[in-house]
Each structure stands twice: as C-alpha cells, then as structure tokens.
Amino acid sequence: MTATAGSATGPVFHWFLPTGGDGRRLGGSVHGLDIGGTAARTGKTDGRERPASLDYLTQLARAADTLGYEGVLTPTGAHCEDAWIVTAALIAQTRRLKFLVAFRPGLIAPALAAHMAATFQQLSQGRLLLNVVAGSSDAEQRGYGDPLPHDERYRRAEEFLEVVRTSWTGARFDHHGTYYQLGDARLRQPPVPIPRVYLGGSSQPALHLAAGQADTYLTWGEPVPLVAEKVDRVRELAAARGRTVRFGLRIHVISRDSSARAWQDAEALIAGLDDATIAAGQQRLRALESVGQRRMLDLHGGSRERLVVAPNLWAGIGLVRGGAGTALVGSHDEVAERIAEYRTAGIDEFVLSGYPHLEEAYRFAEDVAPLLR
C-alpha cells in the first residue's frame, strides 16, 4: 500500500511540499495562486484553506516518508516560506525522505551555499537534493536585490555551480570569474554523498546550463511529444559535453476510481475562479520572462474551452497558478498509462502534487503507483 521510490530502471516519484499553503480549490490567498482575485485583494478565503504551518507540513512530510516517495520538492519565491528553513525543520520528523530544496544563485554566495548543503547532508545523513532556480521574474529578483536580466542569470548560475562543485571536492582553490572572486577557499567537511543537482527551464540558456551542470533536468507537464523534444535536445547537448543527464517531470495529478469522477473534481478545483480573476492572472503570468511559463500559457491561451491539451492532460491549474500548470486527470489506470508514455519519452522521475496535497499523496501512492511497479 505504499508508493515505490523506483529502482535502477523504474520510475522515481517525488511529492510537493506546499510551503505557500494548501487547500481544496484554487484561488485562496494562502496558495500564492490567486493573482488579482478577491482573496488577493481582501485577504479573505473560503474558510477551508490550510496555511503552511509546521504542523501541517510535518504531517505531509511524514505521510510522504511513510508512503515511499523518494523526496519532496520545496518551492522558492516571495509567495512561500523559505525552503532551507522549512526542510531543516523537517529532518528530524522524517526517516528516509529526501528534500529537493529550491535555491537561487545570486541570492547567496556559492561558497556559503556549498557549506549549507554540506551541513544539511551531515544532519540529514545524506538526504539533500538541490533544485537550482535561476529566477523566472526580473521584478521578483530585483525585489531580492538581484539586478541581472534573465539570460545573464543563467550565465551566473553556471559559474555559481562551478564554484559549488569545486568546494565540494574539499580542495583549496582560488576562483577569479565574471561574477565571483574567491581566494584560498576550502570547504573542510565536504558533503557525503554529493547532492544531486536538479535544474529546469525551457529557454536556450536554461537547456545549455542543464546540459553542463544538472544531474536531473526537470520540465513541466507539456504533451508527450513536446516533452520528448526537450529530452532529446538536453541529451544531445549533454553528450556534446561528455555528460549524461536524467530527466524529470513536474506535474499535478487528479486520479480517481472513475474517469468521470476525476474530471468532475478537476472542474470543481477551478469552479470559484471568475473571468476577471483568470484574466488578471493570465496578464500577470504573461509579463514574466520565463520561456517555460509562456509555453504553459500557450497550451490553453487563458480559455476555459481549451483546457484539455492532450489525452488526460488538463491545463486548468495554469489559469491562475504560475509554474507547473497541468494535471494528469483520469482513472487510476488512465493516469498510470499516461505516466508510462512519459517514461517512454525518457522521463525517469516525477515530481507530483495535488489539491489538497496530503489527501492526494495517499491517493496516488495507494492507487496509481502500484500499477507502475
């Protein structure tokens, strides 16, 4: 009755840690999802939202640990709690669960980031994974004191990761680069094991960075042919640099005993969104510099009539939610079949989520994962 963490050849399943809040429908202010809607303006919700309290996040992390998920992804940004602090608080509350911690190069010095990762590995006994986020919004980056535009952030991230990986060797070194200057640097206790680096993005700078630095490249849930194109491109770029890369998919799931019930619940998730809220959300998301975000938006164009973008692939979440905006919707068998198709396209790992995250973590682990073993 537990999810499989995957084998050398099987799929690996991660879950999502909603550090911006959770609930049963989109639009509540604690999600960080209601862009320009009533809840965002007034601070009021429908009364069923779940704030990102330590109690709730602990409950969810323990469930993911017990259910056999490989790890939990924590987001980063102004809409949620700090990923490092939250996950550090959950180390002692879990046994084997890994933490895929999001962090942004440019907001922290690379030698300090390397030190933090080493400390996390020591305290968690090797349960840290790193999700590198170069930053999708110039405006939000400026709010953190980072003035660099989109493409240059990826060039800096390349140098950042070079410094981090050199630090992890434990050797003394000097570094004189474009963005960082280090003299006689040394990390006295390197992390064991070295954390795997995850990296997403759809722009050309992102693909090149992933090919050179990522252990796992993450992409959002586009239709299988589009995902396959990205996988092939990153694999080709990595091979040119003498590297191999694993591939992961970030997507939501709405899996039920029947297909009809799954689609009913999908529609209920966005039932409270009025046209004005959707229009405001689309306008704000369109203003972001992220190529991946634009690809998500282009799947549906902000129209309720275009939300089914491929078999069992529904883009309703992307009407107001930034980032991963699609969900696999259907019976347990149908969802398992679609996951198998992504596996055929080259996807090794799946970072899943659903609303509410606690209940959906159980549903997927008990009803879908056993079909994929």
Structural domain includes residue 231: yes
Q: HEC profile for the chain?
A: CCCCCCCCCCCEEEEECCCCCECCCCCCHHHCCCCCCHHHHHCCCCCCCECCCHHHHHHHHHHHHHHCCCEEEECCCCCCCCHHHHHHHHHHHCCCCEEEEEECCCCCCHHHHHHHHHHHHHHHCCCEEEEECCCCCHHHHHHCCCCCCHHHHHHHHHHHHHHHHHHCCCCCEEEECCCCEEEEECCCCCCCCCCCEEEECCCHHHHHHHHHHCCEEEEECCCHHHHHHHHHHHHHHHHHCCCCCEEEEEEEEEEECCHHHHHHHHHHHCCCCCHHHHHHHHHHHHCCCCHHHHHHHHCCCCCHHHCEEECCEECHHHHCCCCCCCEEEEEHHHHHHHHHHHHHCCCCEEEEECCCHHHHHHHHHHHCHHHHC
Structural domain includes residue 48: yes
Q: What is the pLDDT of residue 7?
A: 44
Range of the domain at 21: 12-372
Number of domains in the chain: 1
Distance CA 112, CA 348 (A): 31
Q: For 329-366, write each residue's pLDDT tens digit.
A: 999 999 999 999 999 999 999 999 999 999 999 999 99
Structural domain includes residue 6: no
Q: What is the pLDDT of residue 2?
A: 46
Structural domain includes residue 7: no
Query: Could you say which residues of the chain have pLDDT below 50?
Result: 1-2, 4-8, 28-47
Q: What is the pLDDT of residue 338?
A: 98
Structural domain includes residue 303: yes
Structural domain includes residue 284: yes
**CATH number of the domain bearing residue 191:** 3.20.20.30
Q: For 258-287, write each residue's pLDDT tens digit.
A: 999 999 999 999 999 998 999 998 998 888
Structural domain includes residue 329: yes
Structural domain includes residue 2: no
Q: What is the pLDDT of residue 3?
A: 53
State the pTM of this model.
Answer: 0.91
Q: What is the pLDDT of residue 32?
A: 38
Exposure of 362 by Cβ count < 10 A (0-12 exposed, 13-18 middle, 19+ buried)? middle
